[in-house]
Structure 1
Amino acid sequence: MIVSAASILLICLAVSIWLRSPRVGSRLIFVGGTILTMSQPETVDAMYIKDGVIQLVGSEADVLTASGGESEIINLEGATVMPGLIETHTHPIATALTGQAVDVSGFSHNSRAEIMATLKEASESYAPLGWVTAFGWDPILIDDLDPPTLAELDAISPDRPLFILTQMMHEAYANSAVMEAAGITRDTPDPAGGELVRDSNGNLTGVIREVNAIKMIVDAMPTPPAGIPDLLVNLQLGKYAQHGITTVGVLGPVGRIEEPLESLRMLGSDRSAPVRLIVYALPDQIGPSETPNVSGRFRLRGVKFWMDGSPFAGGAAWAEPYENTPLVRERLNLGVDHMAELNYTQDDFQERFAEFHRRGFQLAVHVQGERAIDAVLDAVESTLKEHPRKDHRHRLEHNALITETQLQRARALGVTVSFFIDHIYFYGEKLPQLIGEKRLERYMPLRTAIDTGHRVTLHTDSPGSPLGLWRAMRTAILRTPRGTNVPIGAQQQLTIVEALHAVTSHASWQLGLEDEVGTLEVGKHADLVVLSHNPTTIPVERLTEIEVLSTWINGQPVDVRPFSEGNFHLAWQALTMSLGFD
């Protein structure tokens, strides 16, 4: 039976109405639980919200009186309310798309043989777009994971492109079919900020290092059907909300999608968007007349640069060489006394940095090693002398081995810091083999950052590590790698309150939203999360057991169902485009 387009539309409209998420009234009172304001007073008994804005926090009696008796009562039944969590550094597009790739991670494999078998099976299976793409190659978590040779990859997939992205996304491996599809030959020059690794004879090895070189491959990948990437990304944004996250800092919209910045702009501008999106675009994604956008759920706030690479791919620009260990020599395939190069010359970076600084953007720069941090701070200092600008809040991201002197200098220059603390949880046991015991004690120096006057923030850099700010907070407090009870750099531990501020009030300040979100105070948006336990009283070891009961933006619950109304509309758009409907 042939069903007309009109019939399909009527059915879909009926389903859409059925899927519509329930809304609550415009006047709400939260009572019957603990309300953590992340401000003063620290805890209150009740909160009054009107039209999505917090009107009063305080005693139940005061709130009931102020509301005028016409509000909907939300009985928490012993649950805890706190400000919605803020993920300051993540990649929702990449997270959404790598979620569709073949999983070769150390979280699901125990040996190189298992991974190669997974790749072989994938190469013999149907791939909708013709390429076999895999994500999660991790020689740190898997002891015998030597880099794949070009011959190995060609043997696994002789005719179809096979592309593997490492867990930290700063190195990738490609077979000959990928090189051909991307138009890469032995004569292709390395891009600025990237390397097409060659052997001693100048032949390509299939190893691709750093973002700009990896982008050459990603740009050659087949484009998914129209509408599908937007749906996948919106589903991913819903997953952030499921984790209690209400605001997401997008640090570089990367991933195979036609117009990543415009896709985020479209999704984030929807009033039903599951999270607020604060975006730091890549330099080439920003037009010459574009300026920062300072209102709405979608905001283009800044520009993202990578000054060095990943510690776990040999790309971190330490002040001293990597350790001379089998892990460094054989697993990472690095030479003795390896020193990573910076992705930019000082003059080149200085020019780029100054351009966007003058235009009012907040710049966020990936830095792991001391040399990378010095290069960025030099650029900031030079730029501010020629183009003074108050309260710019430029950002240093990750900061694996930032020193106390550098933290002091950053503070004096008005530069902010955010830490990728998951390194300690997932890779802590292997870090001594990369940087030695002496440097290990100051890895991710959170306490030193606070002591030098910084408002520290934490992030998970998904898909660099799985979503999980509760895990990040627990790690910042305990500093123990998974499977152990021995802390790394115990003198750098945070308290639970400091960790909570790192993903709420301090995070909102770093993103320029301190007057709007991050605390539960009068006049701010009612962005909040309802939790099964009070994070200030539950044992720290059990923080990851806290269940998110609901997530709210502007005083309305976020619909986190995969088949939410917003996702249904995106799916319908993808279907109509694929069928050629106008």
Structure 2
Amino acid sequence: MTTTVYVARKILTMNPSQPEATHVAIRDGRILAVGPEEAMAGLGEVILDERFSEQIILPGFVEGHSHALEGAMWEHLYLGYFPRRDPDGNDWPGIRTITAMQQQLRDHAGMLSPGEPLVAWGFDPVYFEGERLDRRSLDVAVADRPLVIVHASLHVMTVNSRMLQLAGLDRHADVEGVKVGGDGKPNGELQEMAAMHAVFEALGMNLFEAVGTPRALRRYARVARNAGVTTITDLYNPMTDEGISALREVTSEDDYPVRLVPAMSGMAWTLEEGIERLQNCCEMGNDKLHFGPVKLMTDGSIQGYTARLKWPHYHDGQPNGIWNAPPETLCEMVEAYHQAGIQLHIHTNGDEAVELMLDALENALTLWPRSDHRHTLQHCQIIDHAQLRRAAAQGVCLNMFANHLFYWGDIHRLHTLGHERCQRLEPLASARRLGIPVAMHSDAPVTPLGPLFTAWCAVMRETASGKVLGEQERISVEDALEMITLGAAYTLRLDHLVGSLEIGKYADMTVLDQSPLDCEPGDLKEIGVLATILGGRVHVTE
């Protein structure tokens, strides 16, 4: 059997018993030995690979909350405020004015067939002063075909009059999530899943099911590889039969560069169907495909004003957000999946949603105690300190959306949350002090996938304008690296396989051009990813 030994200037192992090394030996896709050169003695005949001898090797990054939509949304027009790069390496400029957005829509419509729907994404109305985007603004740009703009949060969309008519929503102003204008008629803004589903049904397509194609999954993997990620989630997978087949197909390919953890959308199935489907899927995985968790969606997004906040609710007086299911239904789902022995990943943006789910988890754990459940609250952006203590007592994991500090920190400070709550926005340091297992994430495609940028956000806590929010919640570079490797792996129940470089684990690594521990913390996001190694196979970034 062939043994390959990789040599690096420094290897940061994330193994507390041996934090650094210079050599790592790989056999059959797993780590055989880690340490200095002399630790490689006695391994028999080896192939010495010195191509990374001047670089830094870390465990492959683990992205514990993102979506395969990152590989699907680029089929449509990007209208985000911030510049982005797509999976094919094309740069998209940010859209800074409504006028510019309208022109982009006109230009794109001109390339489509007559009557063909136009779908765009990434728009974020909180960055634009004045009137909130509505159907009239869209009708000025495109009126001859259905037009759908999915907001950056993925929790809200705005559609034109033609789309409202096609979906029959122009006659249903009393449906929750269908916003109305001063004339009492639907204004084109649709909030949360129930209202948006009506649009997808009318179009005969659902963006959230677009992840079930091999093309989308392969593009998603390319994005992950270029960011240094070797284990990634799809944290809201509908788990259709076609989607499961696509997952199995791509992960069985020798050159597929990531391990994939899909979390089944609990809202897409009845409790009985969901539990049975997920339990059956657990037998269909492979080394690159790890079924197991279920995802529940409680509330929406803070910047979209659809998250559920405790009193005094939104800083600027906007009405409280929307539950994606009645609270009693959400609690029933928690109890049922917990009783079935399934790990829960629960979207909780607002602190009222956190409170509801902590209550539900406490009740479920009282009825059916489990010592190592690893139920994980996702986002929990303004979880308060009493809630943090409850989470610690219940053994709950937290996966925080650190990128939010940069992309929406200024908006939260000035509009949605105000000063005090922004000091605890993504309270990573407080969670760490309480011994809570913590990861952090990008929520791609909501923000770009890039663990080193996420680490920079958590360490520096700077907004897009350069203002520091919550200096006491800054964490060290060492802690940030742990949260994007071993910490994230723990929340996925994969820390015995990935997240650190130790004997017996998958030989999954990331190659960097400099050490995160040696550069200035403010330069973390500038570190280059040169390659990833998955199961001993090298994948060069593009």
**Both proteins in one fold, TM over 0.5:** yes
The match for 2:119 is 133
For residue 429 of structure 1, what is the aligned residue in structure 2? 410
Instruction: Give 1:56's aligned residue.
Output: 33
Distance in 1 between residues matched to 2:172 and 2:395, nearest whole Å: 44
Structure 1 match to 2:231: 247
Residues 33 and 75 in structure 1, CA contact (< 8 A), matched pair in contact too: no
CA distance in 2: counterparts of 1:404 and 1:425, whole angstroms: 22
Partner of 2:85: none
Deviates more, 1:465-474 or 1:314-323: 314-323
| Residue type at the aligned position of 2:340 | R
Letter of the structure 1 residue corresponding to residue 143 of structure 2: P
Q: Does 1:531 align with 2:531?
A: no
For residues 412 and 512 of structure 1, the distance between their equivalents in structure 2, rounded to whole angstroms, comes to 19
- What is the CA distance between 1:388 and its match in structure 2? 2.2
The structure with the larger Rg is 1
Which one is further off, 194-203 or 97-106? 194-203
Match of 1:97 in 2: 72
Aligned pairs, how many?
518
For residues 468-503 of structure 1, give each alpha carbon's deviation from its aligned partner in whole angstroms, at most 9, with x where no partner exists. 11111011001111341x421000000000000001
Stretch of structure 1 that moved more, 433-442 or 313-322: 313-322
Whether 1:83 aligns to 2:59 is yes
Structure 2 residues not aligned, in runs of 5+: 83-93
Distance in 2 between residues matched to 1:216 and 1:554, nearest whole Å: 43
**2:322, 2:357 → 1: CA distance?**
14
How far has the Cα of 1:153 moved from its partner? 2.5
TM-score normalized with structure 1 length: 0.83
What one-letter code is carried by the residue in structure 1 that aligns with 2:123? W
Name the structure 2 match of 1:41: 18
Q: What does residue 319 of structure 2 align with?
A: 338
1:474 pairs with 2:456: yes
Deviation at 1:295, TM superposition (A): 5.1
Residue 112 in 1 paired to residue 98 in 2?
Answer: yes
8 Å CA contact retained: 1:505, 1:514: yes
The alignment status of 1:301 with 2:292, answered yes or no, reads yes
Helix, strand or coil: the match of 1:313?
coil
**How far 1:346 sits from its partner (Å)?**
2.9
Q: 1:323 to 1:98 in 2, by over 3 A?
A: same
Q: 2:257 corresponds to which residue?
A: 274
**Range that drifts further, 124-133 or 345-354:** 124-133
Counterpart AA for 1:173: T
Displacement, 1:560? 5.7
Deviation, structure 1 residue 316: 1.9
Please state how far the C-alpha of 1:287 moved relative to its aligned partner: 4.4
Matches within 5 A, 1:10-409: 26-39=2-15, 40-63=17-40, 65-92=41-68, 94-107=69-82, 108-126=94-112, 130-144=116-130, 146-184=131-169, 186-187=171-172, 190=175, 195-199=177-181, 203-221=185-203, 229-253=213-237, 259-283=242-266, 284=268, 287=274, 289-290=276-277, 291=279, 293=282, 296-323=287-314, 325=316, 336=317, 338-409=319-390
8 Å contact from structure 2 (residues 225, 532) kept in 1: yes
Deviates more, 1:444-453 or 1:175-184: 175-184
Distance 1:480 1:148 in 2: 28
In 2 relative to 1, CA 321–113 (structure 1 residues): closer, same or farther, beyond 3 Å?
farther
For the structure 1 residues 269 and 213, does the alpha-carbon distance in structure 2 shift closer, same or farther, using more than 3 Å as the test?
farther
1:540 aligns with 2:515: no
Counterparts of 1:102 and 1:435, CA distance in 2? 31
Deviations 1:496-522 (A, max 9, x none): 000000010111111001111100001
Checking the alignment, whether the CA contact within 8 Å between 1:26 and 1:52 is kept in structure 2 is: no
The residue identity in structure 2 corresponding to 1:232 is A
The Cα shift of 1:279 comes to 1.2
> Residue type of the partner of 1:281?
M
Measure how far apart 1:228 and its partner are.
10
1:464 match: secondary structure: coil
1:453 is the counterpart of 2:435: yes
**Deviation string, structure 1 residues 22-57 (Cα, Å, up to 9, x no partner):** xxx941101242111101211012111111111111
Q: Distance in 2 between matches of 1:391 and 1:271?
A: 33
RMSD, matched Cα: 2.6
CA contact (8 A) 2:122 2:152 kept: yes
Retained in 1: the 8 A contact 2:179–2:187? Answer: yes
Q: Report the AA paired with residue 423 of structure 2.
A: E
Q: Which residue of 1 aligns with 2:91?
A: none
Q: Distance in 2 between matches of 1:199 and 1:150?
A: 10
Q: Residues of 2 paired with 1:412 and 1:551: CA distance? A: 37
Gap change, CA 1:98 and 1:524, over 3 Å in 2: same
**Secondary structure of residue in 2 paired with 1:67:** coil
**Residue 309 of structure 1, CA deviation:** 0.9
Contact residue 186 and residue 202 of structure 1 kept, 8 A: no
After TM superposition, give the deviation of residue 524 of structure 1 in Å. 0.6
Q: Give distance in 2, aligned partners of 1:371 and 1:249.
A: 26
- Measured after TM superposition, the shift of residue 452 of structure 1 is 1.2
Question: Which one-letter code corresponds to 1:105 in the other structure?
Answer: G
1:309 counterpart letter in structure 2: G
1:188 shift after superposition: 8.4
Deviation, 1:260, is 3.7
Runs of 5+ in structure 1 lacking a partner? 1-24, 326-335, 562-582
The secondary structure found in structure 2 opposite 1:31 is strand
The whole-number CA distance in structure 2 between the counterparts of 1:288 and 1:254 is 13
What is the CA distance between 1:183 and its match in structure 2?
4.6
Paired amino acid for 1:102: L
- Alpha-carbon offset, residue 348 of structure 1: 1.1
- Residue of structure 2 in register with 1:498 after alignment: 479
Q: CA deviation at 1:168?
A: 0.9
Q: What SS is found at the alignment partner of 1:379?
A: helix
Q: Distance in 2 between matches of 1:123 and 1:555?
A: 46
TM-score (normalizing by structure 2): 0.89
* 195-204 vs 523-532, which moves further: 195-204
Matched letter for residue 177 of structure 1:
R
- Residues 1:75 and 1:274: Cα distance change in structure 2 (over 3 Å): closer
Give the fraction of aligned pairs with identical amino acids, expressed as a percent: 27
Deviates more, 1:346-355 or 1:408-417: 346-355
Residue aligning to 1:333: none
Q: For residue 84 of structure 1, report the CA deviation from its aligned partner.
A: 0.1
CA distance in 2, matches of 1:440, 1:288: 38
Deviation at 1:72, TM superposition (A): 3.8
CA distance in 1, matches of 2:37, 2:351: 51
CA contact (8 A) 1:393 1:510 kept: yes
Post-superposition CA distance 1:38-91 (Å, at most 9, x none): 01211012111111111111110221x132133343342310111000000001
Relative distance call for 1:472 and 1:288 in structure 2 (3 A) is closer
1:350-400 Cα deviation digits (max 9, x unpaired): 212222222222111111221110100111111122222231111111111
